[in-house]
Amino acid sequence: MTFKTILSAILVAIFALICMLCTQRADLNLAYAAFCCSPYVIIIALLYFHFNTIRRKLNLLHEPNILFELAYGFVFYLTFLMFFPVILFVGTIGDEYEHRLYADLGNAIAEMFPLLLILSIFLTVFSSIIFVWAIKSYKRLVPVLIGYIVLMPIIDGIASTGRDIKKSKQEAEDIADSLKNGVYEWHAAMSNPAAYPVQLYKGVFSFPKGEHYNFTFGESNPVNYDARWGNDGTETSKQNAVMPNGLDLTWYSFAEDTFYRLNTPIDQEKLKLLFSKPYLEKRASRNFEEKYDAIIMGFAPGGVVVVWAGSTGRRQVEIGRYQAQKVSIAKPVSKDERLAYNDVFNPEWRNKVLTDSAIIPLKIQRLIKNKPIPYGYWDKLRTAYNWQPTFVISPEIKVHDADFSFFNAERYVFFDESLLTNTMEKRGVPKNVYVKWYDKNGNRCALDFEFDEEQIFRQFGDFFDREKNSSAEIEFNINQKTKTGTATLKNGKNQVLLLKAKIIDYGEKY
């Protein structure tokens, strides 16, 4: 009998501690605490199985009652566990650092009470079941212990689900509270044309109440590798903060061998409008909630800076275009100084950036060799006109979405109602439009309109020059019979075929 009760007490203590760790998803401190307190928990469990005075008086030793054991066990375990903070308080006297953690005994008990309560519940349940049904027979003890082992992952799974729900709820509450106070989670990122790398020398965000935030882009990678205009590259860490209302940027343009500085207000209200409300996008057959979370700064030759709001999904919106001024920043560098990574004043570093194929691909290096920098080109990309997309489709086609990328680096996805209800507004010149849909047999199909830059800018320019201050639509016509699609710029009787493309048939399993 003694061997069985000792074994049962040890196993009950171990199982109870494991379950507590499962439900709390313990960090190292909690795991360490559970390990340290395990001897004490085992001693309490031994007392539970051997302290039978009350049971004898109530004639419950030979015919134990599960309801009594549950009530008795809970009071028993919680009472003894409440002494544990006291033991820690007394046991750490003499150790100045450890004792400081438990010097406020009342506060220590209050902090540990939720964990002690959870441990008491697990000890009570496991001990009661063993005492009532298993203690008198090995045949019963073994399956009960096997049942406990099976129960461990179930408890862990239920606890994980509960934690996830609680975490999601807390995150939603935090986001709602942040939005209410004008605080958003965001980061900043740097962009530049592939051929013209830049490096931030000094960056400062200013905020409405006079605060300032100094930032850098990627200390380990201060320049963008294989950059693309409008794409976010090296970035700052995420932060929870209000939207900035000003920028003070100083940077070095390698191709121009020039420093620029921009000190300007930016459109905080537009940023707040975009960042304050999540939006929906469709992937496969489900809608997903996305949000704006990045302020992307694009640096182009000539001191041009374009700022976009970037998102977790497929939207990007221009905030503004700004003009910086050349500045002179001198720092003497010794000729025999070895290459200092990211030192913009070091000639070796400057040459490395301009010749590194990971920063400027070799193909681009060859294209720009001995050619002047095309100042004004990035402003041309920002040319916008009043137009809207329309879709002419067969009734049997279920349109999924239309993903628009523009030469000005903006991006937008139309789907469901927005395919039909989008309005006439000033938009950039489309660079790529990818339309996806499902046919009557459930096969996924697509049209990929990849517009030639020189041709479409000429087409838009000629069309709108003839129709001054006019608006137009781009009609996307999908013809399932001919397996083709067309994009046509139209205004009444005036129309220009922009592009014709073949339908891509992915099939039903795509």
pLDDT-derived band at 131 (thresholds 50, 70, 90) equals confident
Q: Per the domain annotation, does 379 fall within a domain?
A: no
pLDDT exceeds 70 at position 172: no
Which pLDDT score is estimated for 298? 97
Last residue of one domain, picked from the residues 374, 395, 418: 374
Residues 360/228, Cβ–Cβ less than 8 Å: no
pLDDT at 450: 97
**Alpha-carbon span 404 to 343, nearest angstrom:** 39
**pLDDT, average across residues 99-107:** 75
Amino acid (1-letter code) at residue 85: P
Q: Which two tokens stand for residue 324?
A: 């910086």
pLDDT tens digits, one per residue of 353-365: 999 999 999 999 9
Please say if the pLDDT value at position 272 is more than 80: yes
Greater confidence (150 vs 120) lies with 120
Please tell me the predicted confidence (pLDDT) of residue 357. Answer: 93
One domain, residues 306 and 353: yes
Residue 448 counted as domain residue: yes
In this structure, are 51 and 103 located in the same domain?
A: yes
Bridge partners of 412, per DSSP, are: 404
pLDDT at 320 over 90: yes
Both 170 and 234 in a single domain? no
Whether the predicted pLDDT of 41 surpasses 90: no
**Where does the pLDDT of residue 31 fall: very low under 50, low under 70, confident under 90, or very high at 90 and above?**
low
Return the amino acid letter for 411.
R
Is residue 71 situated within a structural domain?
yes
Percent of the chain exceeding pLDDT 90 equals 42
Residue 383's pLDDT is 96
In contact, 422 and 414? CB cutoff 8 Å: yes
Regarding whether 68 and 134 lie in a shared domain, the answer is yes
Residues 391 and 368 in one domain: no
Q: How many CB atoms lie within 10 A of CB 250?
A: 17
Side-chain-facing half-sphere of 265: CA atoms under 13 Å: 7
Instruction: Identify the band that residue 3 occupies on the pLDDT scale cut at 50, 70 and 90.
Output: confident
The whole-chain average pLDDT of the chain stands at 85
Which residue range forms the structural domain that includes residue 24? Answer: 2-178
Residue 382: band (very low, low, confident or very high) from pLDDT cuts 50, 70, 90: very high
pLDDT of residue 86: 81
Last residue of a domain, one of 374, 393, 412: 374
Question: Tokens 């975490």 map to which residue?
Answer: 167
Distances (CA, A) of 112 to 30, 44, 108, 141: 11, 17, 6, 32
Q: Is 502 part of a structural domain of the chain?
A: yes
Q: Which DSSP letter does residue 481 get?
A: T
CA distances from residue 58 to 53, 68, 69, 127, 269 in whole angstroms, order as listed: 9, 10, 12, 19, 75
Same domain, 284 and 213: yes
Number of structural domains (the chain) is 3
Please check whether residue 154 is in contact with residue 15, taking contact to mean a CB–CB distance below 8 angstroms.
Answer: no
Distance, in Å, from the CA atom of 393 to the CA atom of 174, rounded to the nearest integer, reads 43
* Rounded (10°) angle between helices 28-50 and 84-91: 120
Q: What is the pLDDT of residue 288?
A: 81
Residues 268, 243 contacting (CB under 8 angstroms): yes
**pLDDT surpassing 90 at residue 121:** no
